[in-house]
């Protein structure tokens, strides 16, 4: 009997553990947003977070979206050639980048670059008692560390998505014009004509959600890290995994909400 | 000034504090000694709210430490952490002046810097150190910066968590003397936790021995060698034989 129940017990324990983790994350998220609207506000830390999340991420965002746009143009051209639809490259590149690949690529790059660094930094602060030191200096760690970073993520990642979308489309344009013999002006005109305002708005909205998820996961795992170097390593790894999965899941849900009709 | 009344704290099945009772009068320097893992840090952190006791009360000036305005409560304290706990991302002077640049004690940046430089001088560091980052300093210098930060806002109560850990004997002696001088000069109430006997003799007015989650003995530092308490005797002699198990 116990052998039959054992897998069920394991499943139950895993479910309870997952629900507890979800509950802790929900409480952390709620506390973060509650602290956002209550003073004190640390503007200097917010400015530093804007620079770290936004400005210093531009090179990696630019390069990844440039190559993604170029590869997408080549794929659409090759695939479209099977049913004589090579001419739709500008339209499909534009919609593919703006609706999906731009926000997702930027979100994943932010998870790789920013989430990991936030988690490692805060986890190290925890291990070296810097978080305790903040408390003894009458400074709430969540207000000082989490709120500026999450707010910066929500505000600046949509800007990165906008920049990434433009660079991605230009990557497709460069490949199409340079190697596939498309006319430059026609390509750009087709792109502009095909995109709608709602495509851009939903793209930026996805960026805000992804930015929030990426920074929140870094802070959550950092604040809850274990002891020692292994604790810091686990927190960093866990933060990137959680951010990547949640960004893709949120993207799927948002796509369903925005475009199901 | 600080009074522990039957304070208990457990982490899972590990009962660290099992009814701590201790009184630290105003202006006195109390040193808590005890082996590693006996709950010294937990006792100290319980006062500041960094650890929440399971039961019992900690009173500061007769008021429950968990009640009232916590920020105002913490503004009365300074703390030197074992590893310094300096903020890596801030230059030294901003670490020292951290409390003076935010919250109720906020003042203009120039003034905060001037106070930080003065406190750095007080702990024997030159002004050039002010603009360096903590990672550029030696362990002894980091301790001094931590000490300068602890006293920057002129607190009434100062806590020292293992102030000489990781330092060579000469630097440990320098830090001990600095702590003693500063505590006397400021008239502050001090609570230090350590297992370094040279620190105990240099810093303490009174000593408390924590073992098995309770205060085994307390008395003036002058009575330490003639306490007659088997735990204290074993601890200060560093003997493997006695009531304290050598293997923990």
Contact B6, B21 (CB under 8 A): yes
Interface test with A, best of B37, B42, B44, B50 (most A CBs within 10 A): B50
For B51-85, write each residue's pLDDT tens digit.
999 999 999 999 999 888 888 899 999 999 998 99
pLDDT for the residue numbered A4 = 62
Q: Chain A: give the shortest CA distance to residue B210, in Å.
A: 23
Taking each helix axis as running N to C, give the angle between helix A228-259 and helix A116-127, from 0 to 180 degrees, rounded to the nearest 10. Answer: 140
pLDDT for the residue numbered B241 = 82
Query: Tokens at residue B7, please?
Result: 């304070």
pLDDT for the residue numbered A49 = 98
Closest CB from B74, B102, B104 relative to A136: B74
Query: For residue A2, what pLDDT band results from cuts at 50, 70 and 90?
Result: low
Long-range contacts of B169-172 (CB under 8 A, 24+ apart): B169/B198, B171/B139, B171/B140, B171/B143, B172/B196, B172/B198, B172/B199
Instruction: Provide the whole-model pTM.
Output: 0.90
pLDDT for the residue numbered A137 = 94
pLDDT for the residue numbered B1 = 87
Strands B189-194, B14-24: pairing kind: unpaired
Instruction: Answer with the residue of higher pLDDT: A183 or A4.
Output: A183
Contact B83, A129 (CB under 8 A): yes
> What is the pLDDT averaged over residues B1-18?
94
Query: For residue B99, what pLDDT band results from cuts at 50, 70 and 90?
Result: very high
pLDDT for the residue numbered A85 = 84
Which of A46-55, A166-175, B22-31, B176-185 is the least confident region? B176-185
pLDDT at position A123 over 80: yes
pLDDT at position A261 over 90: no
Domain boundaries, chain A: 59-254
Closest CB from B85, B88, B98 relative to A129: B85
pLDDT at position A226 over 70: yes
A16-27 per-residue burial string, b: 16 or more CB within 10 A, e: under 16: eeeeeeeeebee
A130/B102 CB distance under 8 A: no
Give CA–CA dist B51/B63, Å, rounded: 18
- Tokens 């960026």 sit at which residue? A207
Q: Chain A: give the shortest CA distance to residue B24, in Å.
A: 20
Closest CB from A42, A133, A139 relative to B85: A133
pLDDT at position B248 over 80: no
Long-range contacts of B222-226 (CB under 8 A, 24+ apart): B224/B200
pLDDT at position A139 over 60: yes
Interface test with B, best of A136, A140, A141, A148 (most B CBs within 10 A): A136
Q: Chain A: give the shortest CA distance to residue B150, in Å.
A: 9
For B190-247, write each residue's pLDDT tens digit.
999 998 999 999 999 999 999 999 999 999 999 999 888 999 999 988 888 888 876 5
Within 8 A of B37 by CB-CB distance, chain A residues are: none
Contact A127, A223 (CB under 8 A): no
H/E segment holding residue A198: helix A197-223
Domain boundaries, chain B: 90-154
- Tokens 């947003």 sit at which residue? A33
| ipTM here | 0.90
Q: Chain A: give the shortest CA distance to residue B70, in Å.
A: 8
Within 8 A of B74 by CB-CB distance, chain A residues are: 135-138
Residue A31 φ then ψ, to 5°: -65, -40
In sequence order, the β-bridge partners of residue B192 are: B31, B160
Residue B66 DSSP one-character state: T
> What is the pLDDT averaged over residues A66-77?
96
């Amino acid at each position: 009997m116990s052998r039959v129940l054992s897998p069920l017990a394991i499943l139950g324990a895993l479910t309870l553990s997952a629900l507890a983790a979800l509950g802790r994350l929900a409480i952390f998220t709620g506390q973060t947003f509650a602290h956002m609207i209550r003073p004190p506000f640390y503007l200097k830390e917010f400015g530093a977070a804007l620079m770290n999340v936004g400005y210093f991420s531009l090179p990696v965002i630019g390069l990844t979206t440039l190559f993604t746009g170029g590869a997408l143009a080549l794929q659409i051209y090759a695939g479209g050639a099977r049913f004589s639809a090579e001419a739709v490259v500008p339209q499909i590149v534009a919609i593919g980048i703006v609706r999906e690949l731009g926000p997702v690529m930027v979100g994943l790059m932010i998870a790789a670059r920013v989430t990991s660094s936030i988690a490692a930094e805060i986890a190290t602060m925890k291990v070296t008692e810097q978080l305790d030191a903040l408390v003894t200096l009458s400074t709430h760690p969540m207000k000082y560390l989490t709120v500026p970073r999450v707010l910066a993520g929500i505000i600046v990642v949509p800007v990165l998505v906008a920049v990434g979308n433009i660079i991605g489309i230009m990557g497709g344009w460069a490949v199409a014009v340079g190697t596939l013999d498309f006319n430059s002006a026609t390509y750009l005109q087709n792109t502009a004509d095909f995109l709608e305002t709602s495509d851009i708005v939903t793209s930026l909205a996805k960026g805000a959600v992804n930015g929030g998820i990426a920074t929140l996961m870094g802070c959550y795992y950092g604040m809850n890290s274990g002891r020692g170097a292994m604790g810091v390593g686990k927190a960093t790894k866990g933060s990137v995994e959680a951010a990547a999965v949640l960004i893709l899941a949120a993207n799927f849900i948002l796509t369903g909400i925005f475009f199901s009709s | 000034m600080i009074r522990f009344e039957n304070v208990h704290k457990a982490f899972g099945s590990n009962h660290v504090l099992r009814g701590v009772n201790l009184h630290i009068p105003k202006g006195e320097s109390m040193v808590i000694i005890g082996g590693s893992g006996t709950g010294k840090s937990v006792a100290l952190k319980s006062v500041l709210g960094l650890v929440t006791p399971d039961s019992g009360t900690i009173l500061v000036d007769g008021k429950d430490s968990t009640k009232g305005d916590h920020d105002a409560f913490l503004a009365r304290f300074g703390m030197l952490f074992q590893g310094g706990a300096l903020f890596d991302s801030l230059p030294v002077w901003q670490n020292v002046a951290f409390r003076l640049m935010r919250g109720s004690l906020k003042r203009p940046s120039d003034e905060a810097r001037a106070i930080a430089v003065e406190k750095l001088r007080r702990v024997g560091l030159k002004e050039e150190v002010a603009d360096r980052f903590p990672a550029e300093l030696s362990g002894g210098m980091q301790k001094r910066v931590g000490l300068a930060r602890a006293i920057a806002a002129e607190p009434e109560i100062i806590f020292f968590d293992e102030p000489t850990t990781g330092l060579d004997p000469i630097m440990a002696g320098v830090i001990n003397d600095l702590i003693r001088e500063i505590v006397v000069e400021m008239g502050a109430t001090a609570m230090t936790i350590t297992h370094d006997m040279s620190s105990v003799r240099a810093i303490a007015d009174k000593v408390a021995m924590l073992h098995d989650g309770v205060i085994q003995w307390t008395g003036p530092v002058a009575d330490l060698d003639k306490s007659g308490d088997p735990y204290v005797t074993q601890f200060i002699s560093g003997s493997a034989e006695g009531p304290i198990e050598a293997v923990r």
